[in-house]
Chain A
């Protein structure tokens, strides 16, 4: 039988885990956006060196599994640098660097997907680089970037469960902890899965609506 009491009597632990999950999700998305903006835009600059830096960054963090990045930052980086890194900072850094590489790709792709003719037309009007970006290119690019940015952010919330591998007390970690003394993994992991569904399904539906609105155009 499904024993609800395991959940109801441990709701405070679960709530703590949920806060940690949300905290890392929102925080790493914010920092990741800043990283992505820089790493995406420098790839569009005329300076070759900057372009390479951006490319290397993206390919590096995009192609290493997030779990490996997290473990490496938490366990290996301190040995390299001879400093201590808290699991919180290690988790935050790993998540931000990882999603930053995806955001960078989305930003770069979004700007580059705008037809070259748009640049030609705005240059012919005598617009400066900044005017061009602000008035013509970015408004069109952002429209196209919203769906992939939102989609990647939803994936990010799910990715935070990897934090439990470096013992950050996120939702999944709390679940494992509760099940370790209640011996009720079925109830607990079902509840954890349900919490993700309850948060992410409505977000996905909203996202789809927004997407349709934008594709519709006017």
Chain B
């Protein structure tokens, strides 16, 4: 695993020195994150550690006050430490780059006035100006791959949480994204629905999709992630292969975090016993 190697064969994401403030509270205190094509990177950390904030910086849903962001070699953001622009992209350019990333939210955020199919077609038709026929064909294909062919004409309110989240994944994938961003995609789901969403995400990862995932599903992280990144109080304090980060935590904060999970969820018990 080329986890922390400086070699950048096909770097999809390159964030450097990201600093983010909400009012007087500094949420991210200089974060560096590189993601290579095809990698699955899982961000973990206690609530308030900044993992969701960091994810939302990638497509500028959160605007950092300092740092640099490259997506697939294109510089989309560059501020020095005094908040001065080094580059300033017009909104249209930013929107274009955003359209090359897919995002899946904790609360699904499907458009309630549209059917599942229309939700998936919306981005390609309105933003990428594809023909309706082309967008429909691709949307049908994606929804089928999510096992939702029987639900394409339903509104979000008629779907279960797990189905909604799979529609949301299809909606993100419809943009042919260079990277898929997941913000706690299973946290709002009833326990019995978590599996179907994780399954869809595993399939996506195996298909070679580049993914950045904020999650508390350490089992998913352990099995699927190429790298696990642990954030604490706005800083990355561990970044490496899952076995290293989750099974041999060195930093005391990480140790505490992982131990709490071991105790409560017991997800990693089989792996720990086998060790």
Cβ contact within 8 Å between A131 and B126: yes
Residues of B within 8 A of A (CB): 59, 61, 91-92, 95-103, 105, 107-113, 122-123, 126-127, 155, 157, 171-172, 175, 181
Question: Which secondary structure dominates where chain B touches chain A?
Answer: mixed
Cβ contact within 8 Å between A124 and B103: yes
The residue that B95 contacts in the complex, of A115, A118, A128, A218, with Cβ under 8 A, is A128
| Interface size range on A against B | 20 to 34
A7 within 8 A of B: no
B213 to chain A, nearest CB (A): 15
Stretch at the interface among A43-51, A135-143, A180-188: A135-143
A199 to chain B, nearest CB (A): 32
Q: List 26 A-B contacts (CB under 8 A).
A: A117-B105, A117-B107, A118-B109, A120-B61, A120-B105, A120-B109, A121-B109, A122-B111, A123-B61, A124-B181, A125-B122, A125-B175, A126-B97, A126-B98, A126-B99, A127-B123, A127-B126, A127-B127, A128-B92, A128-B95, A129-B91, A131-B126, A131-B127, A139-B113, A140-B113, A218-B155
Closest 9 CB pairs of A and B: A126-B99, A117-B109, A124-B103, A121-B109, A125-B123, A126-B98, A126-B95, A126-B127, A117-B107
In the complex, what residue of chain B is closest to A136 when comparing beta carbons? Answer: B111
Q: How far is the CA of A197 from the CA of B171 in the complex (A)?
A: 50
Cβ contact within 8 Å between B91 and A128: yes
Residues of B within 8 A of A115 (CB): 107, 109
In the complex, what residue of chain A is closest to B106 when comparing beta carbons? Answer: A117
B164 to chain A, nearest CB (A): 12
In the complex, what residue of chain B is closest to A114 when comparing beta carbons? Answer: B112
In the complex, what residue of chain A is closest to B100 when comparing beta carbons? Answer: A126
Interface residues of A in 93-149 (CB under 8 A from B): 115, 117-118, 120-129, 131, 135-136, 139-140, 143
